Amino acid sequence: MSPVGRALHERFETVCRTELQRLRRKTASLAPEHREQVDALTLEVAQRVALRLDAALDATGGGELADVVMRLFAVTAPAVEDMK
């Protein structure tokens, strides 16, 4: 996974976990095992979206598209050390 892909993955996971926590009252009626399934599925979807974006950036060479995607999802540029 590229540094940008890794940053997207982390951002998506953070947003996903925050939203799942925010929706706890709405999912309170679910059995704990069902809520765990919803959480796991939601995180998996977010991870796969990040992987698809990373693959698309890799296929296009990144560049300007990476800048747009990073801006769109409020992802900060990876540190130079991360790019090695």
pLDDT in tens, 26-79: 888 999 999 999 999 999 999 998 888 888 888 877 677 888 888 888 887 664
Which contacts (CB < 8 Å, 24+ apart) does range 49-55 have? 49/12, 50/5, 50/8, 50/9, 50/11, 50/12, 50/13, 51/1, 51/5, 51/9, 53/5, 53/8, 54/1, 54/2, 54/4, 54/5, 54/8, 54/9
pLDDT in tens, 12-23: 999 999 999 998
Tell the burial category of 7 from Cβ atoms under 10 Å away from its Cβ (0-12, 13-18, 19+).
Answer: buried
> In the chain, what are the domain boundaries?
3-76
